[in-house]
Amino acid sequence: MSRPCNQKLFVAYFCLVLTKILSASHFGLEQNLIEVEVNVFKKGFPGFSIIGLPNKSIEEAKERVKTALINSDIDIPNSKIVVNLAPADIPKEGSLYDLPIAIGILASLGNVKLPEEKSFFYGELSLDGGLRHTKGVFLLGLAAKKLGIKNIFVPSDSANEAAVLSGVDVYPVFSLKELIAHLNGIKKIEKLSHSAKASAGQFAEEQQIEFDFSEIIGQESAKRAMTIAAAGGHNIFLVGTPGAGKTMLARATAGILPLLNEEEALEVTKIYSVSGLIPAGEGLIRSRPFRTAHHTTSLIGLIGGGTNPHPGEISLAHNGVLFLDEFPEFSRGTLEALRQPLEDRKVSITRIAGSAEFPASFMLIAAANPCPCGYLGDPKRECKCTPRMVMNYQSRLSGPLMDRIDLHLNVPAVDVNKLMTNNSSLVTRNSKTIREQVIKARNIQNKRFKGLSVFVNANMKNKHIKEFVEITPESLLLLKQAVNTYNLSARTYFRLIKVGQTIADLADSTSILPNHVAEALQYRVRTND
């Protein structure tokens, strides 16, 4: 949009020219439409100002844009340039406004002709006029689809993120020069074709297996428990002496998880896009996330937060696994903050600018030693901890938190002599075989919950249990007896049913049988409670 003026005066920059370019900003996982208004005029002192609640990175855009334009053979007039990011009451951050600001200046100077259709411009400029990989392009594509924006112009390294979405024309831009030539009709940029969309961004389709279950000697009950946890998306708590294999079991679990289905993949890609964790040139995430966090991780790092809320590790592990080793060593506040996400499968973060909600449906694998020295109950090494030290260590994990973990498992140390032998009889099923079992069970669950926002048994609510779960009278009687004997909570009661359903799915049984309940109780009822 510009004020009509004489062409000669226009070239001489004597008339005020206003251009509006569409872009977007994100708050949490939500996109806000941003109008980048650019005014270039002769009157007044020469300068370059950006207003509309920009942060430091946007302020620095002035130098990036000017240098990129100069290196793209564009003469910048000695004029006053004012850029307004509207609406002005929304805080803006990031380098994504470089491209819309540059295009706004070029359009105001008459160097480019803007598309007739509504278009998004989005991306960070390098000093040579090229476009850098910029986070949030997938969310930009979602916003364009929602608002009916036909075209989006984004860095070529980021274009595959949005290309997986239908109904949006994605133009991968390598440099300012290339985009200028496209807008002026000199040389068109080819939008990503349907075939490109189909193959784009399916990186890491096969999870990189760090440990295979066949490498873990012994621990058959632990392997069975991990299989159940992976099949139903259940939380699991591993307790054992140092070197018992807890970490290997946890990391081997990554190799038995199935690929994400389409809906899950879109959810995960959305989170990773806004976090800037999708590699350049990649797009849709197909493999399930496997995230680890050190016990020194801050509350914000684990749960999420910040002025402009960003996802924490629990959201980055959405539809995947979060492995927390040395579980009792995390701060009490950090551990207790896990309680709500473990129950609700989401986390809400409220700031002055508004509230952001991130999904957090993850499978928690927590590992701990039985005591500070780690050798409580070890038949070969003496525990040096006092009873008070043991009690203080174990009390770091509150009852309400542990009540939200479905499977509790003791991992005993393996005899070293077994590790030193080459006896093939000790080699058990490999990860590929176990993965096939898990996929079969997951397929049963996908069919069971078709049309719902539930993908695994662990995510069932009480209403889903009443609707989908079939439990025999004998199994129900056994479960009720266990609840009364061990004074189990109502939450534990329903979680036992969920685990029992997963065991039934692994056995290809249409109903929960007594042996399924018995096995679920074996992993849930702890003798030291």
Q: 220-232 and 431-448 are packed helices; what angle lies between their axes, rounded to 10 degrees?
A: 30
In the predicted structure, residue 507 carries a pLDDT above the cut 80:
yes
Q: Dump the DSSP string for 67-101.
A: HHHHHTT-PPPS-EEEEEEESTTS-B-SSTTHHHH
Can you say how many angstroms the Cα of residue 470 is from the centroid of all Cα atoms in its chain?
33
Q: Is the dihedral of CA 194, 195, 199, 200 positive or negative?
A: negative
Provide the Cα torsion 179, 185, 191, 193; round to 10°. -160
User: What is the helix (H) or strand (E) element at residue 47, kind and residue range?
Assistant: strand 47-51
Query: pLDDT, tens digit, for every residue of 264-294?
Result: 999 999 999 999 999 998 888 999 999 999 9
Share the mean pLDDT of the chain. 89
Residue keyed to tokens 């009443």: 466
Rounded Cα gap, residues 159 and 503, in angstroms: 42
Query: pLDDT, tens digit, for every residue of 303-356?
Result: 999 888 999 999 999 999 999 999 999 999 999 999 999 999 999 998 877 789
Contact predicate 40/13, CB 8 Å: yes
Rounded Cα gap, residues 194 and 163, in angstroms: 8
Contact predicate 349/355, CB 8 Å: yes
The stretches of 411-508 forming alpha helices (DSSP H) are 416-420, 431-448, 462-468, 473-486, 490-506
What is the reported pLDDT for 413?
85
What is the reported pLDDT for 267?
94
Nearest to 13 by CA among 63, 78, 83, 101: 78
What is the reported pLDDT for 394?
92
Query: pLDDT, tens digit, for every residue of 424-471?
Result: 555 567 899 999 999 999 999 999 999 898 999 999 999 999 999 999
And the tokens for 82? Answer: 């004012």
What is the reported pLDDT for 203?
46
Q: What is the pTM of this model?
A: 0.90
And the tokens for 14? Answer: 């004597």
CA separation, residue 18 to residues 36, 42, 96, 110, 116 (Å): 10, 13, 21, 11, 17
And the tokens for 332? Answer: 């009490």
What are the structural domains of the chain?
Answer: 7-199 (3.30.230.10), 213-448 (3.40.50.300), 460-529 (1.10.8.60)
In the predicted structure, residue 79 carries a pLDDT above the cut 90:
no
